Amino acid sequence: MNTDMSIDSNLKEIVEELKRYLEFQESMGLKTVPAYNKETENGTQLITEKEALRTEPMATKNNQTEEDIIIIEEPVNLFDTKIMTLEEIREEIGDCIRCKLHEGRTNLVFGDGNPKAKLVFVGEGPGRDEDMQGKPFVGRSGKLLTKIIEAMGLKREDVYICNVVKCRPPDNRTPEPNEMSTCEQFLFKQIRFIKPEVIVCLGATAAKSILRTKASLGSLRGKFHMYSGTKLMVTYHPAALLRNPHFKKPAWEDMQVVMKELGLPLPKN
């Protein structure tokens, strides 16, 4: 029996079976597959999400150990390799009813700012003021975020601001896992189009969504992680700073690390 022909036949059966499986999943509404790229000596290979969540060594200026850093690649989308513009992404969302959050919303809150921003801020979801106005971070937390951005020597128009979920959770509760998994695909597409130099996750919810981790905010903040080739900083949500003013100093220290990475002048002591 010809070994090469046997291998080709088996490979063809595997490919056909995978094709049927993916077509079925697509018919059920699947858009992305949780697989990740990893560079090896023999090229690029796909690895599992569990493998991707393992920390990997990365050269840093702060002598960080490999246990400190999370490196995540963007989920592989087998059905759409096109980079969509922000307008196309918003059009794709439409008058969304994909999860139960739509039931209580006034306005869908997509995102706001510079589509070519070097810096993107990501929160967990809209609050009452955001839901009323249809813009992210416009309430008390938003006013504080604006002050932080200005203290960095920037304007809101210079950055891009968005959330993991685009509709307000009832009573401003934390988004549920199924709500996040339904909506975060649009966040990933926003990041993919903008291609920022730095992402800042405001709070643990945003960090857990993007970095696929259950680690605490305290263990994540203060250093850069990586998402799809972009440096990512985790810091406190402005709402946490309003509740606990003693968080303001470490949050500002995080922002100074971001400023240094972006080549922005640091404030003089």
Q: What is the pLDDT of residues 20-70, one digit of tens each?
A: 655 544 544 444 544 444 444 444 344 444 344 333 333 334 444 445 799
| pLDDT at position 53 | 38
| pLDDT at position 17 | 61
Q: Which positions of the chain have pLDDT values less than 50? A: 24-25, 27-31, 33-66
CA gap 105, 52 in Å, rounded = 35
| pLDDT at position 259 | 98
| pLDDT at position 77 | 61
What one-character DSSP code corresponds to residue 84?
P
Asked if residue 230 lies in contact with residue 251, where contact means CB atoms within 8 angstroms, the answer is no
SS3 160: strand
Please tell me the number of Cα atoms within 13 Å of 177 on its side-chain side.
4
| pLDDT at position 248 | 97
SS3 56: coil
Cα angle at 230 between 153 and 242, to 5 degrees? Answer: 50
Asked if residue 101 lies in contact with residue 179, where contact means CB atoms within 8 angstroms, the answer is yes
Please tell me the number of Cα atoms within 13 Å of 79 on its side-chain side.
13
Please tell me the number of Cα atoms within 13 Å of 211 on its side-chain side.
33
CA gap 80, 32 in Å, rounded = 9
Q: At what angle do helices 140-151 and 248-262 cross, to 10 degrees?
A: 50
| pLDDT at position 10 | 65
Instruction: Give exposure, 100-113, as e/b (b: 16+ Cβ within 10 Å).
Output: ebeeebeebbbbbb
